[in-house]
């Protein structure tokens, strides 16, 4: 669904912008429209309209405000993932202090962008998540991990990490350090494709939906030694 790599010369990455602030939404739509390899296929002012548009426009990436009327960004994230499972969702937030960052990860968000990011950062974020990678700033990663630690309760007495191979644990540690597939491949002297397969296996074994969720889970299960 969508293009395989979204590299130059391929089909453009189809983007949907959902934000209740009209000026911000229009500005983002216009600026993204100028970027090569990116096509804005729709814009919506609330989560209900955004979900309906996602169904008809079948975007590759959705830029979604975490705070909206009618349907919160979290609810819209869940609804869009259900309607268009292949869509990658980037939450737009004014602050990385948001209390519900963790909830958005659980709802299938691929990453976060602060609203004061430059257009280059937004375009880069769109390309990164379209390529199947997660996007999260170091400050947000720390917040998420802290929040996860506070929220985590010993609900399960099994340790799924034991099912991971040494190599998978190695890959997971590098994912936790914010490395992308290319960087992990270089670090471990393996191909990028092999890294993708390892990440897919890790998610399947842990029954998780995103790289970020895998990192949070690993922290909870004390599989990683993080500072």
The reported pLDDT for the residue numbered 162 is 57
Asked if CATH classification 3.40.50.1100 holds for the domain at 152-220, the reply, yes or no, is no
CA pseudo-torsion sign 165, 197, 38, 43:
negative
Whole-model pTM: value is: 0.66
Contacts of 203 (CB under 8 A, 6+ apart): 209, 210, 211, 214
**153 beta partners:** none
Residue pLDDT, tens place only, 181-218: 888 999 999 999 999 899 888 888 888 777 777 777 77
Report how far apart the first and last C-alpha atoms of the chain are (Å, whole number): 38
- Domains 13-139 and 152-220 in one fold: no
**90 beta partners:** 63, 111
The reported pLDDT for the residue numbered 4 is 39
Q: What is the mean pLDDT of the chain?
A: 80
**Residue 227 — pLDDT band, cuts 50, 70, 90?**
very low
The span from the CA of 44 to the CA of 64, in Å, is 9
Residue pLDDT, tens place only, 19-49: 999 999 999 999 998 898 999 999 999 889 9
CA pseudo-torsion sign 172, 85, 83, 18:
positive
Phi, psi of 28 (to 5 degrees): -65, -45
In the chain, how many H helices and how many E strands? 10, 5
The reported pLDDT for the residue numbered 109 is 86
Query: Minimal CA–CA distance to 75: which of 60, 59, 61, 64?
Result: 64
Per domain, the residue ranges of the chain are 13-139, 152-220
Pick the CATH number of 13-139 from 3.40.50.2000, 3.30.1700.10, 3.30.565.10, 3.40.50.2300: 3.40.50.2300
The span from the CA of 99 to the CA of 227, in Å, is 22
């Amino acid at each position: 669904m969508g293009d395989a790599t979204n590299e130059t010369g391929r089909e453009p990455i189809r983007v949907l912008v959902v934000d209740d602030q009209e000026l911000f939404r229009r500005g983002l739509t216009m600026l993204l429209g100028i970027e090569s390899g990116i096509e804005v296929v729709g814009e919506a002012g609330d989560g209900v309209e955004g979900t309906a548009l996602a169904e008809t426009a079948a975007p590759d990436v959705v830029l979604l405000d975490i705070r909206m009327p009618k349907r919160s960004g979290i609810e819209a994230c869940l609804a869009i993932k259900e309607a268009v499972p292949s869509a990658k969702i980037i939450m737009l937030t004014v602050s990385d202090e948001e209390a519900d960052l963790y909830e958005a990860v659980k709802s299938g968000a691929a990453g976060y962008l602060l609203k004061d990011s430059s257009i280059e950062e937004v375009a880069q974020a769109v390309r990164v998540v379209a390529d199947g990678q997660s996007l999260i700033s170091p400050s947000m990663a720390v917040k998420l991990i802290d929040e996860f630690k506070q929220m985590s309760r010993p609900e399960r007495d099994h340790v799924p990490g034991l099912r991971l191979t040494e190599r998978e644990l190695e890959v997971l540690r590098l994912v936790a350090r914010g490395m992308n597939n290319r960087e992990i491949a270089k670090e471990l002297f393996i191909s990028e494709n092999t890294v993708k397969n390892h990440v897919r296996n890790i998610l399947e074994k842990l029954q998780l939906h995103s790289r970020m969720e895998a990192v949070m889970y690993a922290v909870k299960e004390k599989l990683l030694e993080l500072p």
